[in-house]
Amino acid sequence: MEEHQSQELVIVKPEVRLLAISRGVNGESAQEVIELAARNCYQSAKAMTPESNPRFLRSLLVRGHESVIEHASATFLIAGGSRAFTHEQVRHRMASYSQQSQRYVGEAGFKYIVPPEIARNPEAAKRYEAYIESARRLYAELQEIGFKNEDARFVLPNAVESRLVATFNFRELRHIFDLRLSPNAQWEIRSIVAEMLKIMQKEAPIIFEEFILDEDNCTAVRAGTLVPCSEAQSKVRRIAKEFPRIFNSLSEPENFPPLSHIARCYNPDCRKVKAEVGI
């Protein structure tokens, strides 16, 4: 492949763009919509103030009351991902997808993704490129002799770029970030989902603040998992003594990780602390 073709046809970095996000009819943010929905459960809308949102949302997350965050959603345009990526992504079924069709869209000039490990190996990269170009030629030949896209597409490799519009509620996004930003997840889906997380941490910081992103490796862990059991237990007990209601302390962001740790931990001692403080 000539150099100018490589620049046009090889995907260097995927594009992830936010197309839409939940807003209330009066312009409320997605996080305010979640608070309104949750307060409906307790008929406590009168207690809602501009300052109440962070504490209230953190208390929902610590208690595991995550059904209410399904009322907010985000829609992304994802371009520059391979068909291998989209096959993985659409396994997350609590979502809506609209994907570029290979039946109605001709793929003679398709762009493609090169796995980094292959790109770093000159011999493998050469053979990979030769295979891609042979698939491109065969696709074009099938079209030339009269076959429709829907039949010619059977020779296209998983490396072909696809474009996806995807809508997720916030609860499903948290689930996706847990699974797909694990070091065990595949490199391409990690790189794309990491971009989604960066966007959501700007748009809904309280809902997604506990994910600590390692941009270099496109991995993330929850902040609570970084807090040792003993530290979490002692801090939560201390908070419980200092405040009449433990969740008042969630106005202070530094208190969220230990509370989140105890809420998620299966250590018997942490579960005991959880019961003591009423989480």
As given in the structure block, the two tokens for residue 4 are 């100018």
Catalytic residue among 83, 180, 190, 222: 180
DSSP for 132-197, written as a single string = HHHHHHHHHHHHHTT--HHHHGGG--TTBEEEEEEEEEHHHHHHHHHHHTSTTS-HHHHHHHHHHH
Nearest 10 degrees: Cα torsion 174, 180, 184, 187: -150
Report the alpha-carbon distance of residue 262 to residue 18 in Å, rounded. Answer: 33
Evaluated on CA atoms 154, 105, 16, 97, the torsion sign reads negative
Which residue type occupies 30? A
Q: What is the largest CA-CA distance in the chain?
A: 79
Report the alpha-carbon distance of residue 179 to residue 220 in Å, rounded. Answer: 10
Nearest to 194 by CA among 161, 220, 172: 220
Strands 211-214 and 73-82, by their bridges, are: unpaired
User: What proportions of the chain, in percent to the nearest 5, are helix, strand and coil?
Assistant: 55, 15, 25
Cα 70 from chain centroid (whole Å):
14
- Active-site annotation holds for 163: no
Catalytic residues: 180
